[in-house]
Amino acid sequence: MEVYLDNSATTKAFLEVAELVKKLMCEDYGNPSSLHRKGVQAENHLRYAKETFAKILKVSEKEIYFTSVGTESDNLALIGCALANRRKGMHLITTQIEHPAVLQTMKYLESLGFRVTYLPVDRSGCIRLEDLKNAMTAETILVSIMHTNNEVGSLQPIAEAGELIKRMNPSTLFHVDAVQGFGKAKIYPKKMHIDLLSASGHKIHGPKGVGLLYIQEKVKIQAINYGGGQQMNLRSGTENVPGIAGMAKAAELLYGSLDQDLEQLYRCKQHFIDGVRRIEGVQVNGLPDCKCVERTAPHVVSVSFAGVRSEVLLHALEEAGIYVSAGSACSAHKPQPSATLKAMGVDPKLLSSTIRFSFSVFTTMEELDYTLQVLYDKIPMLRKYTRRA
Amino acid sequence: MFTAFLIKYAEIGIKGRNRHLFEDALVHQIKYALKKCEGKFLIHKTQGRIHVDACSAFDFDEVVEHLQLVFGISGICPVVSVEDEGFEKLCDTVVDYIAKVYPEQNQTFKINARRARKDYPKDSMEINADIGEAVLNAYPQMRVDVHNPDILLNIEIREKIYMYSEIIPGPGGMPVGTGGKAMLLLSGGIDSPVAGYMIAKRGVKIDAVYFHAPPYTSDRAKQKVVDLARIVSKYTGPIYLHVINFTDIQLYIHEKCPHEELTIIMRRYMMRIAEHLAKENECLGLITGESIGQVASQTMHSLIATNEVCELPVYRPLIGFDKQEIVEVSEKIGTFETSILPYEDCCTIFVAKHPVTKPNVNVIRRHEHNLDEQIDALVKTALETDELIIVE
């Protein structure tokens, strides 16, 4: 049995998406900037994709831009806005638990002279609005807060934060990294006071190599790459039409049945958490007892198994055909304790014993029961053979 | 401009009656190295030299780079070859050659002609003098120095005329395959690939064994070892890499033996398995990357304990090297970047906080008896499930 529980790293594409991508690569392969019919055809696919996202986010299609990947969307949003608005102030706010795509970009902006405040989080992995309020100054030009944390699945109070930011300083821009949240939650930038929003194709059963950036019409932003002037001069380069259309198709499918899917995902999550808690010495991160699963992301479960090294457990599960992640896949290249878990105050001893299980609409109860059974078998064995002090 | 290379070899030259064996091995290794280069080449031996003639267009830098990987080559001379079209034409060619190879002409030179074709109208001395004169006429700023010239221009008159003056250094050593074969214990670390490189440099062909411990070590760790073997194989030719699943043996030792002795006993079993594979594959020795005192299992006391389980000699070319010296070689041969990728190898997973540094061999032997019940069967299974990867 093969069980893929690493959907926060990437997802399997919907078959419809793969077929559409193939069609656009082999048949409607024109360059949307070309004047002939082939180009117009490609442009139509592009327009349709923009309309799709505009409808889902309840924004105007003029406000939809495409990039090569979620990381690029974050880079463009943060660097583009910081540079274009630096005369208004040099202060930025973000959180300690952002994805490296935001954190490292903030580090770069610091090197350019910007001042950055990193908001702490509580035990459940959420920022406190009080901290945000205290961090805001007249010089704050941009706040960037992730929608869903990629490591533990905590949901940030986006709507409340948006309202707070605009009340305190209407000219402060609000960017939301929704790479993990898009496709699993209803996100309406206009209602939530979001000025910029990043999303990624391959996290929602679409193709890799395509990202989305919503930019509210009035936002002052400058390009960070230069070339042929595509996408209103903001993001030069021939549009990845197959990728963009594929991502739009995936979003369309996901949002078409979002309510039922969410219900099923939360049922799976609750079932899995109940099952995993039956193992001794286990801690589910980001879910203090008082909190119900519905207030966390539907697809991420972070579990610490005391006395078991996560890398070893990961490979032991792999032997049973189960694919999971130790921390987040993006940081597996440089094994270091997760900044998110540290910020949440997780016991340092558990930092290297943490596994992330992440689900998708393809995940079944049967797969989760199989996974639980494998965990029941393997955990005691792995605990028997450990590095003795 | 260059159409051939003259290959100089160092130590082979002094081997007596075996010399042709060494030369044949070198030709073989050169052919192997050039297979990866663009173009066609004819490689042949004549009168104590090896010639590499290009039979098509080729990339000069690429060829030199690949020849520099072949052990046994001490120098690579790029050669210009021309048809014999009379002496005057030859003088023009030499003058032209100097202009192209030495844009900076304020140097001393010497012409060193060899006349293999005795019917050539001038003898060597005349050729030296007359060509020297032509050069001086063309470049008044050049001077002749017959004792210590900056440029030594060799001209050989054969069917065609060959000239060369540059010697690009080769890696030295002896052609792989002339010194027998040995089994390298290859981990994912910095040392063992360097050890393999050093022994291969003495003409030894390399087989390798890697101990894999899933799920404690990952497929990426294994891939890393394959990648390291691939880098080493640029110098040694194809490497037969044996991957041994060591997990059950390791867990069994962990269960039955004192924890401080785990690493030593584990290494004893690695040596035993490596020796078994070595003998099966006609290897004449084992190679490890050990260096005295580097870690607990590499003190002289520990080496006694790991050495005694083998009959075959264990070659430890890094034994007197400091870590920094090993790192320098690994950077030179290109394995360093791969070696430092952060995947755990099987030696570090269960390592004790305070492993023994001065193990008593008698005590170790006694504790090994705790394993009597199952260890033979586990070793047998490990050997039977040996996965062979041919890396090149």
pLDDT 10s digits, B225-259? 999 999 999 999 999 999 999 999 999 999 999 98
The verdict on ipTM greater than 0.95 is no
Please state the φ and ψ torsions of residue A15, each to the nearest 5 degrees: -55, -40
pLDDT of B13: 56
**Across A83-95, average pLDDT:** 97
The chain-wide mean pLDDT, for chain A, equals 94
Alpha-carbon span A294 to B157, nearest angstrom = 90
Asked whether residue A332 carries a pLDDT value surpassing 60, the answer given is: no
Place of tokens 């193939």: A22
* pLDDT digit string, tens, across residues A351-377: 889 999 999 999 999 999 999 999 999
Q: Are residues B104 and B199 in the same domain?
A: no
Q: Which among A315, A388, A389 is the nearest to B218, CB-wise?
A: A315
pLDDT band at residue A389 using 50, 70 and 90 as cut-offs: very low
Instruction: Tell me the nearest-neighbour CA distance from B215 into chain A, angstroms.
Output: 5
Total domains in the fold of chain B: 2
Q: Which among A319, A385, A387 is the nearest to B214, CB-wise?
A: A319
* pLDDT digit string, tens, across residues B151-207: 999 999 988 899 999 999 999 999 998 889 999 999 989 999 999 999 999 999 999
Asked whether residue A253 carries a pLDDT value surpassing 70, the answer given is: yes
Subunit contact B342:A387, Cβ cutoff 8 A = no
pLDDT of B116: 84
Asked whether residue A289 carries a pLDDT value surpassing 80, the answer given is: no
Label residue B157 left, alpha or beta by phi (over 0 means left) and psi (-120 to 50 means alpha).
beta
Q: What is the DSSP string of A319-346?
A: HTTEE-EES-GGGTTS----HHHHHTT-
Q: Are residues B92 and B143 in the same domain?
A: yes
Contact predicate A378/A317, CB 8 Å: yes
B52-to-B5, B46, B81, B176 alpha-carbon distances in Å: 5, 11, 12, 18
Asked whether residue A125 carries a pLDDT value surpassing 50, the answer given is: yes
Asked whether residue A251 carries a pLDDT value surpassing 50, the answer given is: yes
Subunit contact B349:A335, Cβ cutoff 8 A = no
Chain B residue closest in CA terms to A381 = B251
Alpha-carbon span A307 to A353, nearest angstrom = 7
Residue B148: which domain range?
A: 4-169
Those residues whose C-beta lies under 8 Å from the C-beta of residue A160, and which sit 6 or more positions away, are A129
pLDDT band at residue A290 using 50, 70 and 90 as cut-offs: low
Q: Are residues B191 and B60 in the same domain?
A: no
In a domain, A292, yes or no: yes
Of B169, B195, B225, the residue that ends a domain is: B169
Of B123, B139, B169, the residue that ends a domain is: B169
pLDDT band at residue A327 using 50, 70 and 90 as cut-offs: low
Asked whether residue A90 carries a pLDDT value surpassing 80, the answer given is: yes
Q: Which among B217, B254, B353 is the nearest to A389, CB-wise?
A: B353
In a domain, A389, yes or no: no
The H-assigned helical ranges of chain B are 19-35, 60-67, 87-101, 124-138, 191-201, 219-236, 247-256, 262-280, 300-307, 323-333, 336-339, 361-368, 375-384
**Which residue out of A374, A375, A385 would a mutagenesis test of the B interface target, given it has the greatest number of B Cβ atoms within 10 Å?**
A385
In a domain, A299, yes or no: yes
Of B140, B169, B198, the residue that ends a domain is: B169
Subunit contact A385:B255, Cβ cutoff 8 A = yes
pLDDT of A330: 44
Element holding A116 (H helix, E strand): strand A115-119
Residue A181: which domain range?
A: 15-255
Total domains in the fold of chain A: 2
Asked whether residue A244 carries a pLDDT value surpassing 90, the answer given is: yes
Alpha-carbon span A177 to A160, nearest angstrom = 16
The chain-wide mean pLDDT, for chain B, equals 91
In a domain, B176, yes or no: no
| Exposure of A191 in the CB half-sphere (CA atoms within 13 A) | 5
Chain B residue closest in CA terms to A389 = B353
Chain A touched by B45 (CB under 8 Å):
no
Instruction: Tell me the nearest-neighbour CA distance from B313 into chain A, angstroms.
Output: 33
Could you confirm whether A330 is annotated as catalytic? yes
pLDDT of A384: 82
Q: Are residues B323 and B383 in the same domain?
A: yes
From chain A, the residues in CB contact with B259 under 8 A are 388
From chain B, the residues in CB contact with A327 under 8 A are none
Asked whether residue B208 carries a pLDDT value surpassing 70, the answer given is: yes
* pLDDT digit string, tens, across residues A174-188: 999 999 999 999 999
Q: Which among B218, B259, B352 is the nearest to A311, CB-wise?
A: B218
